[in-house]
Structure 1
């Protein structure tokens, strides 16, 4: 009875169920299968599943006949709604299969066509089939053919005929879809003109009037997004309100029309920044979600739109409840949709942004980790040619910078720099100068402090200079960028000076290493020379970033520790130095062996420090920092407990007048907060 639609098992099951109810009534005369509340619900679910109902005659027949029979079997005052639904559906069936509709209704349709050239019906039907094919497959040729068929049907239909409004609306819908694919505003203007005429032509009480208004509202909002014309937004909002007002709450289209109205209200808020429009938009979009049935293929779209509105309101007012609802809604979409669903990427992308926004308010490491997971999944869901690929790279890069600043994991910093560089390369200059170059410059500056490589510092300065060029002179961020740039330039000069000083000290300690000295039973000179040579080499590494220099520094300080007797007063300090160098090498290479060795050296330094020695609190703090670093790598609760023990010991050991005491206490509080989050 129709063009073959995409196979949908649920639609087929519901259609078969309604047809079975009709047969049971015809065969037995039992009204119950037709009048049951479940029958109404099944018909509603079925219409909600159909992307383009006009092309699926089997669905139109099943739903239309169910409501036709209900209208005849129910008392007149109860069956009016069923009749209102049945007649336009069976009218469309009659266009394709005149013999399929009840005889008295077919006579009514035929009498309406007496003396009329009905060739327009064939053109209209062919246009509907082509439009359905275009919507289902994306075939531009089918869409172009639909426009031609609808145009011919409009030429043939008499000026006052009842079908004219429907043809005008269908032509407007086809032209709107053509605009959405090609972006030609003249085509959109034509779509709006035809949709306006459809609304004007349709009788005020016509059942399809709400559909015509909804189609017009959508097209006006399309044009507003392209032109930012206040007139289009105002008219689109008014038309969407009318469409909702004419739609019954149990109509399958009710949720979609509510969602369209909610979208229009969000556009009004974004234009005028009126909180009332945002509040109403949230309310309307929540009603759209509540009105949709689980099988509605657009339900996830309604949830996505609601999440966006809640995120907007949460950001504006700092309302954690709205932010939590938005994140929960996006997480439900990601959980429920298949991997190839068109909403998966935008849901992941928005989830990444919302989680980072909440992290910036709560400082929750769980939110930051989840944000990074969502950002990585979002990148995995699209190809590099996707128009939002670079923007998504930038968002993920910023989140990784946040985590590096929190946990000091150099792997996060490396990944952030790679992503931000890629985004800066892909985005146009106007978009990348401040949005991408600013965090890229900060990340490169942080990396230059780890690597000590002047080339990294030069790259940071270049990125900051480009970022500064994209920030308006009166923007508050310009002063901060200028300050960062000045610090980077000073650091560049210090590198040159420090390298000369480090080279001089290294030469001095190398000569001392080769000079025989008399033994000192308490602290031989040889371990001191080895220790100081290692620290000088470490200074050169911090300037040059040369990994080989760091390797030599580690070996010299390790040799100094081995050459220092177990009871020597300076053994604890040299163990602490070794722990610092091993941590630095771990941050450079990511090797867990160095991190484990750093933990061991720091613990030995604590054990070797007398209880009243002022160095004890520094060694405890060092142990706490390195255990924290290990816990961020392993995510092990045991490591977290050891980190807390060391942080607590450092806070207790600090003297009341120790200027570092607040930092030790803050470290303990952060560690305890982390354990609370995890447990």
Structure 2
């Protein structure tokens, strides 16, 4: 994290660049610079920082389309207020009147405890009404009411920090509902003020730290800034450290820290971080009585962590435990529980993973059932409905592949389209929804053969790649899917430019995949196939050599017991055979025979691909015999 002076200089440099490019202020790195400055200083008492932050928000307000910059206008006014009192000329002229009027407002009336109590009760009632009805206008009224409460509380009032905390929490709800990142950033800022206003050792400090940690975590989910995630971890660790053992909320703070650690693992891949998350989740569940209303949430979150653990280590027992925890979470939550749909959704996802491992159709049908229930329990307009629809689409697509039922695939496409349609363009989950829809459309094309379905699949996958950030771990999957669908479009249309794009996209997928990633070999193999097809159409030897090099790495990357190791060996044999036909290098042909023989030898006799590998080996051996004419060489490669 930069110090105050460095953060101030960084944001100042961005403001200078904006003089030549008025859209520069909207770039993500400028937003990060502003957050960094807010993180290391208190603008209420640092006029230089307040002035720079005020100009940042003012310029954003001017750069955004009409109506979209209202939150930045409010922030600019707030930051410029202390600056205007001492240096009015340092403030944009259009704000002078507003700031002058606020400066001459009548003094705040004498503190009225009864009025405060009435305002607090109204704010709580409105938030409760929103939780019951889900109406956005009710939530907006609740936020306004909590703002009123926070302004009524003097800074020396014992409830001042609690008032800020309640406003921060309400702003988080509103950000979740409307998807505006500026509201979430304000929630973080308000929650920071609440923590700052609370002394070390204060009995409410742990709760305020936890609220700030949750707000930071949600902000990270939106912006992908690892520094925000690290701050969330730091804050949540402090919350756990200061809350006493046996405290009613300790389990909740443990599980929140565990969830953040799980996300941190997804970014850095350190298994020790994931193991700590699982340990904290187990501690939270163990500390929670069976009749505690929070137990279902802790079971659900621990199940999610164990599912992630399974994805890393592949231990079936861990995945089975995750499924059992998910089932218990669903069984524990009352039918009218506000988070029951989330638990159904999580269980459905875990069961999809379990089906992939055990191939039990009952497990898959249960996954579809859980996902259906999650969608049915979530009304139109609820922020998580798109995520639940996306999971349902994935489960239905798998069901169609397993059973051959076309209606399941058609329903998957319908659910996927709805998920994309209701997800805002700037939402972090939009790329995942687009990717799932793209795969479902590709499967539908394979079923019906309609070129318009295929073109829609390409368009959807292109948008998925364009939407996902470069730091998002799911970007690789989006690139791989786009490469797959582009190759399918080439096979249908014969457009060589489409094939070239498919190869380039696959190169990006491989480049973005860590060397220890479990799917790297598959992405390398896909790239090799596209390069081979490209060579066959343009005849460039360098392209063929690249294909050979890529598939060699796929073979080297996949362990001998990998389920697709024989596929990569056979593909390497085919590419080497083609390279021999172009160069006449007999050593290349001998290597082709060697790897093709290994592909056959490592494939069980009842495997459906064995005949293909035998056929490839036969063709290579025939070519080898034609060139060497030595029956001993031929016999040395025979499979007995």
TM-score by length of 2: 0.56
Distance 1:203 1:84 in 2: 27
2:529 alignment counterpart: 353
Distance 2:551 2:306 in 1: 35
User: 1:376, CA displacement in angstroms?
Assistant: 0.9
Distance 1:209 1:168 in 2: 12
Which residue of the other structure, out of 541, 548, 553, is the alignment partner of 1:365? 541
* 1:453 partnered with 2:470: no
Distance 1:64 1:177 in 2: 38
Gaps of 5+ in 2: 1-30, 62-67, 69-164, 192-203, 216-248, 250-289
Which residue of the other structure, out of 196, 201, 208, is the alignment partner of 2:384? 208
Count of residues in correspondence between the two structures = 407
Q: Is the 8 A contact 2:352 2:363 kept in 1?
A: yes
Return closer, same or farther for 1:456/1:337 CA change in 2, 3 Å cut-off.
same
Which residue of the other structure, out of 211, 219, 226, is the alignment partner of 2:402? 226
User: 1:259, CA displacement in angstroms?
Assistant: 0.6
Q: How does 1:595-606 map to 2 (within 5 A)?
A: none
| 1:186-240 Cα distance to aligned partner (Å, 9 max, x none) | 1121121111111111121111111111111111122222222212111111111
Distance 2:179 2:541 in 1: 59
* 1:123 partnered with 2:296: yes
User: 1:420, CA displacement in angstroms?
Assistant: 1.4
Distance 1:446 1:97 in 2: 74
Return closer, same or farther for 1:449/1:312 CA change in 2, 3 Å cut-off.
same
Which residue of the other structure, out of 612, 626, 639, is the alignment partner of 1:435? 612
Q: Is the 8 A contact 1:21 1:33 kept in 2?
A: no
User: 1:316, CA displacement in angstroms?
Assistant: 2.2
Return closer, same or farther for 1:85/1:20 CA change in 2, 3 Å cut-off.
closer
* 1:374 partnered with 2:550: yes
Return closer, same or farther for 1:126/1:317 CA change in 2, 3 Å cut-off.
same
Report which structure shows greater RCO (CA 8 Å, sep ≥6).
Answer: 1
Return closer, same or farther for 1:17/1:158 CA change in 2, 3 Å cut-off.
farther
Return closer, same or farther for 1:266/1:97 CA change in 2, 3 Å cut-off.
farther
Return closer, same or farther for 1:207/1:22 CA change in 2, 3 Å cut-off.
farther
* 1:398 partnered with 2:415: no
Q: Is the 8 A contact 1:210 1:244 kept in 2?
A: yes
| 1:45-73 Cα distance to aligned partner (Å, 9 max, x none) | xxxxxxxxxxxxxxxxxx99989659999
Indicate the larger mover: 362-371 or 129-138: 129-138
* 1:21 partnered with 2:198: no
Q: How does 1:151-190 map to 2 (within 5 A)?
A: 151-190=327-366
Return closer, same or farther for 1:70/1:199 CA change in 2, 3 Å cut-off.
closer
Distance 1:78 1:292 in 2: 16
Q: Is the 8 A contact 2:464 2:478 kept in 1?
A: yes
User: 1:263, CA displacement in angstroms?
Assistant: 0.7
Distance 1:100 1:147 in 2: 28
2:481 alignment counterpart: 305
Distance 2:499 2:384 in 1: 38
Distance 2:299 2:184 in 1: 27
| 1:624-670 Cα distance to aligned partner (Å, 9 max, x none) | xxxxxxxxxxxxxxxxxxxxxxxxxxxxxxxxxxxxxxxxxxxxxxx
Distance 1:431 1:213 in 2: 35
User: 1:341, CA displacement in angstroms?
Assistant: 2.2
Return closer, same or farther for 1:26/1:146 CA change in 2, 3 Å cut-off.
farther
Distance 1:349 1:201 in 2: 42
Q: Is the 8 A contact 1:67 1:82 kept in 2?
A: no
Q: How does 1:43-192 map to 2 (within 5 A)?
A: 82=183, 100-101=210-211, 119-136=292-309, 137-138=312-313, 140-192=316-368
User: 1:19, CA displacement in angstroms?
Assistant: 8.6
| 1:254-306 Cα distance to aligned partner (Å, 9 max, x none) | 11110110011111112222222211111100000111111111111111110
Q: Is the 8 A contact 1:130 1:145 kept in 2?
A: yes
2:561 alignment counterpart: 385
Distance 1:335 1:394 in 2: 24
Distance 1:213 1:224 in 2: 16
User: 1:35, CA displacement in angstroms?
Assistant: 6.0
Distance 1:208 1:34 in 2: 32
Return closer, same or farther for 1:336/1:146 CA change in 2, 3 Å cut-off.
closer
Indicate the larger mover: 341-350 or 303-312: 341-350
Distance 1:264 1:72 in 2: 32
Distance 1:425 1:300 in 2: 32
User: 1:15, CA displacement in angstroms?
Assistant: 11
Q: Is the 8 A contact 2:169 2:211 kept in 1?
A: no
Distance 2:571 2:35 in 1: 49
User: 1:129, CA displacement in angstroms?
Assistant: 2.6
2:413 alignment counterpart: 237
Name the Cα RMSD after superposition: 4.1
1:444 alignment counterpart: 621
Q: Is the 8 A contact 1:123 1:149 kept in 2?
A: no
Distance 1:72 1:226 in 2: 41
Q: Is the 8 A contact 1:424 1:432 kept in 2?
A: no
User: 1:333, CA displacement in angstroms?
Assistant: 2.6
User: 1:123, CA displacement in angstroms?
Assistant: 2.6
Return closer, same or farther for 1:381/1:416 CA change in 2, 3 Å cut-off.
same
Q: Is the 8 A contact 1:445 1:456 kept in 2?
A: no
Return closer, same or farther for 1:252/1:28 CA change in 2, 3 Å cut-off.
farther
User: 1:169, CA displacement in angstroms?
Assistant: 1.7
Distance 2:574 2:178 in 1: 63
Distance 1:100 1:336 in 2: 34
Q: Is the 8 A contact 1:217 1:239 kept in 2?
A: yes
| 1:7-29 Cα distance to aligned partner (Å, 9 max, x none) | xxxxxxx9999697368568659
- SS where residue 347 of structure 1 aligns? helix
Distance 1:189 1:210 in 2: 21
